[in-house]
Amino acid sequence: MNDVWVEKYRPKKLDEVVGQREVVERLKAYVRTKNLPHLLFAGPPGTGKTTCAIALVKELFGEDWRQNFQELNASDERGIGIVRGKIKDFARTAPIGNATYKVIFLDEADSLTTDAQAAMRRTMERFTHTCRFIMSCNYSSKIIEPIQSRCAVFRFHPLNDDDVKKYIRRVAASEELDVTQDGLDALLYIGRGDLRKITNSLQVSATMGATIDGDALYKTTSTARPEDVKKLLETALSGNLLAAREFLDTLLITYGLSGEDVIRQIHRSLFDLTIADEFKVRLLDRIGEAEFRLVEGSNERIQIEALLAHFVLIGQRLKGYSEMD
């Protein structure tokens, strides 16, 4: 239990990467030819971008991979100085051993400032004969167009439930854990295709016992059960605002959710409500407005209660709508 499970179960080879078959096949073609262009990995967190970059370099360089590989987190060092200094110094030196080029991996490259990206564009051109760049980002739109045009772009998608279940069962068997069916469903709900989050959630819950069930997972990850959130919304739609406020208090105290967490879960549960799409559209618009106000620093309690009040008003319209029918 002293190991960090994310690293412990990180795939060592491209064939071991979970759920990104098309991406892996394209990367294996580069390994076979030993020829690598600049790459841009784009997609949600926890879907295998860093894992693919490291596995690719290991298969390209073999035992010399550490000497010819540098990993930087652009969110920590995001200014133009890092491009003119550390990146340029590494890119201009010759590779070690039998390698014909080195690789710089820039994680969270969408955190680089525009000036830093502009400076890196020229570095990528000048030192292509000695260095290749692999950049990963959550939002490719934040990468300037000149860099995107110089890279082969790989789109990573959230992992599907079948692949995630296989991974969970493999980790559970290795750690001698018993993951119940509702525990498995909870991991799928909590992770939403983010394998890193799923692994961390599983490790934290394992500290409480060898049996992993839904209750343990929801409490240790500060996530409300989807049925509880749905009940909160249905209570508000029924017109009982005071009961909805009390139910909200229970969720906040029991699960320790922040205001933004509550808004996100309300957004996910909205589509499970059995109401007409016309009313879902109105509620979705108000949820987006409440989320924006929270991000801008508004009082979370006031904003969430205002949102529940709007659900009450929509519930009254729904009642009149059904009576007309």
| φ, ψ (nearest 5 deg) of residue 251 | -65, -45
- pLDDT score for 320: 66
Residue by residue, DSSP assigns 128-168 as: TTTEEEEEEES-GGGS-HHHHTTSEEEE--PPPHHHHHHHH
- pLDDT score for 76: 62
- pLDDT score for 221: 86
- pLDDT score for 285: 95
* Stretches in the chain below the pLDDT threshold 70: 1-3, 74-79, 81-83, 320-325
The pLDDT tens digits of the residues spanning 226-280 come to 999 999 999 999 999 999 999 888 888 777 788 888 999 999 999 989 888 989 9
- pLDDT score for 75: 63
- pLDDT score for 2: 42
> How many angstroms separate the CA atoms of 300 and 310, rounded?
15
Question: What's the burial of 197, exposed, middle or buried (CB within 10 Å: 0-12/13-18/19+)?
Answer: middle
Which domains, ranges and CATH numbers included, belong to the chain?
5-155 (3.40.50.300), 162-220 (1.10.8.60), 226-324 (1.20.272.10)
CA 309 vs. chain centroid, Å, equals 31
- pLDDT score for 34: 86
> How many angstroms separate the CA atoms of 291 and 72, rounded?
32
